[in-house]
A and B are shown apart, each in its own frame.
Chain A
Amino acid sequence: QQKVQQSPESLTVSEGAMASLNCTFSDGTSNNFRWYRQHSAKGLEVLVSIFSDGEKEEGRFTAHLNRANLHVSLHIREPQPSDSAVYLCAVSLAQTGFASALTFGSGTKVIPCLP
C-alpha cells in the first residue's frame, strides 16, 4: 500500500524567503503528483501538478520530482501572509483509471512571519 510522508510537520518562514516542503512516497510506479493547499476550515485547492521528473512552475510555486529518489518537493517563492495554510502532497497510480487512487500525506503547516 502506498505510503506518503511529508516533512517538516510545521515550517515558519520569513516573508520574502523561500519555503521548501518535502514529500516522499513508497511506490516507484507512481506517476501522478499534486500539491494542494488547505486554508483553515476550508477545502483544498490544487497548486501544482507534475507527472514527469524535473520541475514544474505555477506562479510562485515550483514542484520538483525525482522518482528515482521517491521524492517530490514544493518550493514557495517569497511567501506571503495569504500562504499561511497546510500544504498537502498527493500521489497516485493513475493506471487504475480513477483519481481515487490518490494517497495524501499528512501535510506541512506553513507559517509566514515578518522578517
Chain B
Amino acid sequence: ETAVFQTPNYHVTQVGNEVSFNCKQTLGHDTMYWYKQDSKKLLKIMFSYNNKQLIVNETVPRRFSPQSSDKAHLNLRIKSVEPEDSAVYLCASSQAENTLYFGEGSRLIVV
C-alpha cells in the first residue's frame, strides 16, 4: 500500500528549464528525504528534512533545492536543469532513524 505519493511520475523537459517534483507522506513520519537514482540503479541521498532541520549532501549542485510546507510534504525544485540531471528521483520518509518508506519515483528526462 503506497503511503508516500510523488507527482509527476514522469517529466520531459529541455535544458535550462525549471522543474518541480512534489512529495507527500501520510505515515505521520517526522523525516523526509530525496534520493537520486541513476541509470545503474545507484541511489544517492540528496536531502533529508527533519523538524525544519535540513541536511544537505554536499555533492548536490546548488540548482537543486528542497521546499517544505509541513512535515508531510517535501518538494524538490531544480532551477535550471542540465542533461546530467536525467534520473529517477525518489522521495522517502521515516520515523527517526527507522525504516525508509519510498514513493514510486519521478523520472526526469532532460533533452
**A86 contacts B by Cβ under 8 Å:** yes
Q: How far is the CA of A102 from the CA of B97 in the complex (A)?
A: 10
In the complex, the answer to whether A46 meets B33 with C-beta atoms within 8 Å is no
Q: Mark A70-89, 1 if CB is under 8 A from B, else 0.
A: 00000000000000001010
Q: State which residues 60-115 of A face B: CB under 8 Å.
A: 86, 88, 90, 92, 94, 97-100, 102, 104, 106-107
**B42 contacts A by Cβ under 8 Å:** yes
**B90 contacts A by Cβ under 8 Å:** yes
Q: How far is the CA of A36 from the CA of B100 in the complex (A)?
A: 10
- For A97, the chain B residues whose CB sits under 8 A away are 96-97
Selecting from A12-20, A22-30, A37-45, the interface stretch reads A37-45
Q: State which residues 55-97 of B face A: CB under 8 Å.
A: 55, 90, 92, 94, 96-97
**A7 contacts B by Cβ under 8 Å:** no
In the complex, the answer to whether B45 meets A106 with C-beta atoms within 8 Å is no
- For B20, the chain A residues whose CB sits under 8 A away are none
Number of interface residues of B (CB under 8 A): 27
Q: How far is the CA of A80 from the CA of B42 in the complex (A)?
A: 25
In the complex, the answer to whether B105 meets A100 with C-beta atoms within 8 Å is no
Give the secondary structure class of B's interface: strand
- For B105, the chain A residues whose CB sits under 8 A away are 41-43
Q: How far is the CA of A62 from the CA of B43 in the complex (A)?
A: 23
For chain A, the bracket of interface size reads 20 to 34
- For A94, the chain B residues whose CB sits under 8 A away are 97
In the complex, the answer to whether A106 meets B40 with C-beta atoms within 8 Å is yes
- For A100, the chain B residues whose CB sits under 8 A away are 31, 33, 45, 48, 55
- For B43, the chain A residues whose CB sits under 8 A away are 88, 104
Name A's B-contacting residues (CB within 8 A): 32, 34, 36, 38, 41-46, 49, 86, 88, 90, 92, 94, 97-100, 102, 104, 106-107
Name B's A-contacting residues (CB within 8 A): 2, 4, 31, 33, 40-45, 48, 50, 55, 90, 92, 94, 96-105, 107
10 other contacts beyond A90-B100, A99-B100, with CB at 8 A cut-off? Answer: A41-B104, A43-B2, A43-B90, A98-B48, A98-B50, A98-B97, A100-B45, A100-B55, A104-B44, A106-B41
